[in-house]
């Protein structure tokens, strides 16, 4: 018999919060994490770059993490996972390590040490060959060793859908009673490689990211590490654990349309959302809020809004894109947005889209939450991740009753 899957713990580090409490406050207030990129991170002074800004984590924290872990991803993940375990009131020493799994989503992966190796090579220094051992699966293994995890390990890299797919993979394992607990989430810290890559695609905004605004001109890259503890309702009940939300269903679709561009009509984005609702045994009438992928690129926002309009019909729904505040954290985007959505469900608020002056949404039943969060008792929400190479994912999150 399939188990109900609940969220009992969450942890997050991003540009608007070093922990869950800071994240909630700044999410409600519509605070932007956008800041100038520091020169000791990488040089963006060349006029080739459209932007000199990103939604970066606190610089002191960045240096501390980099000094301990050149991959960045392992150490920043450990910090977020420690918070997730603490908020779940979970004692790992009293659990069977073979019944705890880890699912990590990332897009950038081990590129940080690779870029350090390249810098040394270009500068004529003898590169440290050890830097090339920081492969993405090795980062997952390092985290598993830190917490003594002996259950299933998954490393998922499905572009910008990675974080949501890691939640979906964990959901499957808990729902089918394969493990007792899953630590699931995503992590990415933007590098010179990703920054210059998105710049080459003309996808970086010249200013602030403005999802669903007529003047939108691209995204801001962001750093994030966000993880959730998933377990069955029966397990949470036995140990009297806090329950933030319930994962009702999710969907993975690959539209196989284009390497970077989404299908302009949004037909596969709609399919992903509809599939997630169907698995959750819900309909569009139940949906209160959609945390949109909302990158503020011209093609994506237009496509996603077509998909939402087609999905919702005449039903009312609130929409926002938290990327307007925390940037696009690539493989971590889905997981940090999952945490934002689950937190909104638990605390009764909808986070906003900021920087919007000329809204592209014309349908009165689709309500864009702007500038500040609003108090609202969310019963069911969708969180969307639509990535390169046609990777589409959506997860349905419910208020626990």
Catalytically active residues are 160, 293, 328
Which structure tokens are listed for 164?
């949501």
In Å, what is the CA distance from 97 to each residue of 102, 167, 172, 229, 306?
Answer: 11, 20, 19, 15, 45
Query: For the purposes of burial, counting CB atoms within 10 Å of the CB of 256, is it exposed (0-12), middle (13-18) or buried (19 or more)?
Result: exposed
Residue 102 φ/ψ region, left for φ over 0, alpha for ψ in the -120 to 50 degree band, beta for the rest: beta
C-alpha 237/C-alpha 243 separation (Å) is 9
Is beta strand 245-254 parallel, antiparallel or unpaired with respect to 224-232? unpaired
DSSP H helical segments within 91-243, as ranges? 111-122, 136-147, 162-175, 192-200, 233-238
C-alpha 221/C-alpha 319 separation (Å) is 21
Collapsing DSSP states into helix, strand and coil, what is residue 176? coil
With tokens 């809204």, the residue in question is 359
Which structure tokens are listed for 287?
């949906």
Is beta strand 245-254 parallel, antiparallel or unpaired with respect to 391-398? antiparallel
CB 315 within 8 A of CB 235: no
Angle of helix 162-175 relative to helix 333-347, nearest 10 degrees, comes to 60
Which structure tokens are listed for 185?
């989430």
């Amino acid at each position: 018999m399939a188990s109900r899957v609940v969220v009992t713990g969450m942890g997050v580090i991003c540009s608007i919060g070093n922990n869950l409490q800071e994240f909630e406050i700044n999410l409600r207030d519509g605070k932007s994490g956008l800041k100038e990129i520091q020169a000791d991170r990488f040089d963006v002074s060349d006029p080739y770059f459209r932007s000199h800004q990103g939604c970066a984590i606190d610089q002191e924290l960045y240096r501390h993490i980099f000094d301990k872990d050149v991959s960045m991803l392992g150490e920043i993940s450990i910090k977020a996972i420690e918070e997730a375990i603490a908020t779940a009131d979970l004692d790992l020493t009293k659990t069977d390590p073979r019944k705890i799994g880890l699912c990590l989503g990332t897009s950038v992966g081990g590129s940080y040490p690779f870029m350090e190796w390249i810098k040394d090579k270009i500068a004529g220094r003898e590169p440290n060959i050890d830097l090339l051992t920081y492969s993405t699966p090795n980062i997952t293994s390092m985290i598993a060793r830190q917490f003594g995890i002996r259950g299933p390990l998954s490393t998922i890299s499905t572009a910008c859908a990675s974080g949501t797919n890691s939640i979906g993979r964990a959901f499957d394992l808990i729902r089918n009673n394969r493990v007792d607990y899953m630590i699931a989430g995503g992590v990415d810290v933007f590098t010179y490689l990703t920054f210059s890559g998105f710049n080459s695609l003309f996808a970086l905004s010249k200013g602030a990211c403005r999802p669903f605004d007529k003047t939108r001109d691209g995204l801001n890259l962001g750093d994030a590490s966000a993880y959730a503890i998933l377990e069955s309702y029966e397990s949470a009940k036995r140990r009297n654990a806090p329950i933030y939300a319930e994962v009702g269903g999710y969907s993975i679709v690959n539209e196989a349309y284009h390497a970077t561009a989404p299908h302009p009509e949004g037909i596969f984005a709609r399919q992903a959302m509809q599939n997630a609702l169907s698995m959750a045994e819900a309909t569009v009438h139940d949906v209160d809020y959609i945390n949109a992928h909302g990158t503020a690129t011209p093609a994506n926002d237009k496509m996603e809004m077509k998909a939402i309009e087609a999905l919702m019909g005449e039903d009312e729904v609130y929409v926002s894109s938290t990327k307007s505040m925390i940037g696009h954290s690539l493989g971590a985007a889905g997981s940090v947005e999952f945490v934002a959505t689950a937190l909104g469900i638990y605390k009764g608020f909808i986070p906003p889209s900021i920087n919007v002056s000329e809204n592209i949404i014309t349908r009165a039943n689709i309500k864009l939450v702007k500038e500040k969060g609003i108090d609202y008792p969310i019963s069911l929400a969708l969180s969307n991740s639509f990535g390169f190479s046609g990777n589409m994912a959506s997860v349905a999150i419910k208020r626990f009753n």
